[in-house]
Amino acid sequence: MDLHDAHGWLIDLLNNISVQFQKVPGSAIFLRYVKSSYQNDPVRSAVELFLFLFAVRYLLAPKYSTSKKSYVKLTDEEIDELVDEWVPEPLVAPQTSFEEAENEKRPVIVGPTGPKSKLANGRVVTNVASYNFYNLAGNEALKEKAIQTLRTYGVGPCGPPGFYGTQDVHQKTEADISAHLGTTACIVYAQAFSTISSVIPAFSKRGDIIVADKAVNFAIRKGMQISRSSIRWYEHNDMVDLQNVLASVVKEQAKKPLTRRFIVTEGLFENLGDMVDLVKVVELQHRYKFRLILDETWSFGVLGRTGAGVTEHQGVSVKEVDMLVGSLAGPLCAGGGFCAGSSEIVEHQRLSASAYTFSAALPAMLATTASEVLAMLESNSEMLTQVRENIKTMWGQLDPRSEWVHCTSAVENPIMILVLKAEVVASRKLSISEQEQLLQEMVDEALANGVMMTRLKSMPRGINVTAKEVGWELQPGLKVCLTLGLSRKEVERTGTVIRHAITKVMKARR
């Protein structure tokens, strides 16, 4: 067959195919659609033809099972043997003999907490172990107000604030705190601990940067851990080191995508009792363009002319602080926590802060108590003055007069933290556990003489966690909490008992 015959045969074949295709019902409609739609777009026709053929191929492909087992099948005996060999890792470290002994001797208070508390053994002791700074735990006016609120609103809303949990007393408390601080808005949480640990991850996410003081409390550390942000630490209350860290972060991030950057610190540090240099922190914050999260859990209700916190005490405008977090459970003798700031900061948390979104709202009687205490602090500055006088009296009995301990707290802090002096620790080569043992003996000796105080305690290390991984370790100390419920003479006597207990224990362990 020559080329001419082959061409003729091909033409006949195509004509026969065309005739047979035209006999198919609907073929004319299909041809008109193809000619009108794709006459100027052959690429589209080719793509659709490919997809059509792929679909046909997929439908005609053989079926296969998705439940094929690709693992080694074990016998019942092998499974039992593996189960017997498996040892689960404990959730917490086992108690030490020291912790067991401490738990056995722990005093139990019977009845209400106050400056004079009755123990289960019948003794009445001077209580300097409770955060009852203004002696409000037994205040009859607050009790009556709480009872009235309880009868009106019930025990609790039993629902999160965003889902029928918000009541008018919550809105009033938020407005009262905002007015007391001078901020635009405020949001109230049901738990003090979960406030800061929810505020941080609500704003700082993976890839963002947090610069934090090495001595921040456990709640802050949990919030930073949950946020999964990059953490940079600076030495405790060292503004030079803070400036170096901020400058280093800015330099490192100069050519990288823009991220959110935060400084996180406390007003009065829970672990040491000293005060932040807020003026310098704010200056550095603006210079390096960071946002500031300030935890005033222990300074709100304590510092300042009206107890508004470290901002009032150091003359810093609250507008300089992006997120001001505080507690209603300590000095205010209520419960819950709050975050104050701009309206945008507050409204963002109503949908993004886990402790606010997923926890039941604060009981109404606690919200009312917080509002009442704020009103008392604003109208009666004598409360703050009396507590500060008692603090000064106790300082006079302990810090300059003891050769064994010194106080790391700020002079305005009603929580006095007493740690062994560095020369004492060095000369006796005391380890952390040995210091804790000595301090517990001091606590027991003071209790035997009618004064109940406690030790400064931190969360234990995780299992198999080394000191290097912790980064900063709390020095053991005694914790003495002042209250205006004690007279000047009672404070002097209490300080004398504590000082003598310290001296007796230290001399006995030479």
The pLDDT of residue 285 is 96
176-204 confidence digits (pLDDT tens): 999 999 999 999 999 999 999 999 999 99
The pLDDT of residue 463 is 46
Please tell me the total number of residues recorded for the chain in this structure: 510
The H helix count followed by the E strand count for the chain is 20, 15
Task: List the beta bridge partners of residue 119.
Answer: 109
- Strand-pair category, 261-266 with 291-296: parallel
Q: Which residues contact 438 (CB under 8 A, 6 or more apart)?
A: 420, 430, 505, 506, 509
Within 10 Å of residue 57's Cβ, how many Cβ atoms?
A: 9
- Distance, CA of 18 to CA of 431 (rounded, Å): 98
Region label for 111, one of left (φ > 0), alpha (ψ between -120 and 50) or beta (otherwise): left
- Distance, CA of 203 to CA of 322 (rounded, Å): 11
In angstroms and rounded to an integer, the radius of gyration of the C-alpha atoms of the chain is 35
The pLDDT of residue 433 is 87
Is residue 259 helix, strand or coil?
A: coil
Give every residue of the chain whose pLDDT is below 50, as ranges.
Answer: 463
The pLDDT of residue 53 is 86
What type of residue sits at position 8? G
Strands of the 323-327 sheet, one edge to the other: 185-189, 337-341, 323-327, 291-296, 261-266, 209-213, 230-234
- Distance, CA of 196 to CA of 170 (rounded, Å): 19
Q: Which residues contact 177 (CB under 8 A, 6 or more apart)?
A: 186, 188, 326, 338, 340, 370, 374
The pLDDT of residue 236 is 93
11-20 confidence digits (pLDDT tens): 777 777 777 7
